[in-house]
Amino acid sequence: MSSSTLMKTFAKTDIVDTLIIGSGAGGAPLAAELARNGKTVVVLEAGPAFPATGHTPDEIAARELYWLHERLSAGTNPQAFGGNNSGTGLGGSLLHYGAFMPRMDARDFHLHTETGKGVDWPFGLDELLPYIERVESFIGVSGPAHYPWDPERRYAYAPPPANSAALKMREGCDALGLRHADGPAALITRDIEQPHFGTRHACANCGACHQGCRNGAKSGTDNTWLPMAVAYGAELRPGCFAHTIERDSSGRVTGVVYRQNGVEHRQKCATLVLAAGAVETPRLLLTNGLANSSGQVGQNYMTHVSTQVWGEFDEDIRPNRGYPSLTITEDMMRPKDADFVGGYLVQSLGMMPATWGQNLARSTTTRGPAFARALAGYNRSAGMGINGECLPRPENRVTLSDEKDAFGIPKPLIEHSYGPNEWAMHHHAARLMTQMWETVGAKDIRVIDRAAHMIGTCRMGADAGSNVVNPVGRSFDIDNLWVSDHSIFPSAAAANPALAIMALSLRTAEAMLRT
């Protein structure tokens, strides 16, 4: 971040107005908004500050962007973490996210009212839309001139060029009579001067979004909200792992103890915001025994059904080239023949070779020359994947395991099993995408059953008995404790989450400014 050299710093004895744990999608917009309104803000981030120019497309080395404190994964669909969904560093998981930026469907806010299943949000799309539009315009999102499922919508940047997978998916949609479009992507397609940051260059179609964008084209928090926060006087502290939340005799938060370079520090604060993500936020609350009068901390853990279907073509596809996931169809948001509630988005997929190979390796048991030939098919492969609703289930949750990590804190145990709704959606999507690939001549079609993202665990809602935070993200139990990250989602909703997390973060900041 170019402006960090000018960054203001606070003494640990200062009582800062707001201390934020986590600098990703949930923490950063709020940091910027509070600082802009004159609040003193410190952000503790466990990961380092990565210079964008140092990112590497090498998938093994790029693991430096993953949250590497070990998690234990259980249940009948144990989830992969690391590269699948957990980042670290100034910028959080957005350093290596895919930048797919659809808006939440209005119906997904009211799933329970619509279907009797799942949970309603305490408000609708109309409430969140102004914040969504502010996020889109500030960070930079590209999209088509005409979005078939929302004709009113406008994007400030033209889409990047369609890669082979995106073109193939268009053909598949056409063959089956599905509408398709260039999907909204959080990247810019012309050079700009980003306020408080500096020059961001147009997307170079390098394809390595998941390994970190080297030219600032991808809109994360590292090149948008965080430099803005710093410009308004916030202090960002990378390399600081927060572990203990301190309180006074009345139970209000007074500060946080964190470890930096092996040394313990304490930062005092008037208000604390947890933005550590949907595994680390409940882990912090559980290890500190806080804010859990509802018994819901760590419960309602959800993911997105993220089934993929890959095929091999006769052409030279080169799936590493171009923005990875451009084509979208929203026609499956409420399919007529659905045997499940909710819906899913279908997106085209390019992919880097090791990630692609991992999927192949883990979803088959071929070996010998057949395995070698399958891996050699990389350059001829194109994929499609979905992002779909996942219902909360009592057996899916984050708890503390018996094992301790290097800091002496229990490692989190994440239990995740699909229920009938998720399996029905998976099978529906697998059939549809297989048919699409078959129609356009793909061979060796392979279905990969996988889930992505970490959602829920500190649910927001109106009722203190069944939710952890109120509808603006404030703890029911401790009035100077707030949560702003993916953990507050009452339901998963189909859309890729970062846009809604950032929009909610701005909304929570406004609520904090009012109190």
Ligand X SMILES: Cc1cc2nc3c(=O)[nH]c(=O)nc-3n(C[C@H](O)[C@H](O)[C@H](O)COP(=O)(O)OP(=O)(O)OC[C@H]3O[C@@H](n4cnc5c(N)ncnc54)[C@H](O)[C@@H]3O)c2cc1C
Residues that bind ligand X (CB under 6 A): 21-27, 44-47, 67, 83, 85-89, 92-94, 96-101, 210, 240-242, 275-278, 280, 284, 453, 485-486, 496-499, 501
Report d(CA 411, CA 22) in Å as an integer: 18
What does 361 interact with, of ligand X, another protein, ligand SF4, none (CB < 5 to 8 A by kind)? another protein
Within positions 375 to 404, which residues make up the interface with another protein, using CB under 8 A?
375-376, 378-380, 401
| Residue 191: C-alpha distances to residues 134, 140, 198, 261, 362 (Å) | 20, 11, 10, 37, 40
Residue 391: CB minimum distance to ligand SF4, A: 32
Identified binder of another protein from the candidate list 7, 106, 204, 511, rule CB under 8 A = 204
Mask for 405-434, x = binds another protein (CB under 8 A) = --------x---------------------
What does 427 interact with, of another protein, ligand X, ligand SF4, none (CB < 5 to 8 A by kind)? none
Number of other CB atoms surrounding residue 253 within 10 Å: 24
Residue 230 CB contacts under 8 Å (≥ 6 apart), including other chains:
1, 3, 4, 6, 7, 8, 35, 196, 236
Residues in binding contact with ligand SF4, number by CB under 6 A: 13
Report d(CA 349, CA 450) in Å as an integer: 14
User: Is the distance from CB of 341 to CB of 422 less than 8 angstroms?
Assistant: no
User: Is the distance from CB of 288 to CB of 253 less than 8 angstroms?
Assistant: no
Tell me which stretch binds another protein (CB under 8 A): 8-16, 55-63, 173-181, 297-305: 55-63
User: Considering the rule CB under 8 A, would residue 17 count as an interface residue with another protein?
Assistant: no
Report d(CA 434, CA 430) in Å as an integer: 6
Report d(CA 392, CA 413) in Å as an integer: 17
Within positions 182 to 221, which residues make up the interface with ligand SF4, using CB under 6 A?
187, 203-209, 213, 215, 217-218
What does 167 interact with, of ligand X, another protein, ligand SF4, none (CB < 5 to 8 A by kind)? another protein
When the beta carbons of 26 and 311 are compared against ligand X, the nearer one is 26
User: Considering the rule CB under 6 A, would residue 355 count as an interface residue with ligand SF4?
Assistant: no
Residue 482: CB minimum distance to ligand SF4, A: 31
What does 275 interact with, of ligand X, another protein, ligand SF4, none (CB < 5 to 8 A by kind)? ligand X
User: Is the distance from CB of 60 to CB of 28 less than 8 angstroms?
Assistant: no
Q: In the numeric block, which tokens belong to residue 178? A: 């599905």
Residue 201: CB minimum distance to ligand SF4, A: 8
Residue 88: CB minimum distance to ligand SF4, A: 18
Residue 266, SS3? strand
User: Considering the rule CB under 6 A, would residue 52 count as an interface residue with ligand SF4?
Assistant: no
Report d(CA 78, CA 81) in Å as an integer: 10
What does 45 interact with, of another protein, ligand SF4, ligand X, none (CB < 5 to 8 A by kind)? ligand X
Q: In the numeric block, which tokens belong to residue 451? A: 């889930």
User: Considering the rule CB under 8 A, would residue 66 count as an interface residue with another protein?
Assistant: yes
Residue 155: CB minimum distance to ligand X, A: 15
Report d(CA 259, CA 510) in Å as an integer: 30
Report d(CA 212, CA 57) in Å as an integer: 8
Nearest by Cα to 229 from 473, 27, 446? 27
Within positions 141 to 180, which residues make up the interface with another protein, using CB under 8 A?
161-164, 167-168
Give the footprint of ligand SF4 on this chain (CB under 6 A): 187, 203-209, 213, 215, 217-218, 323
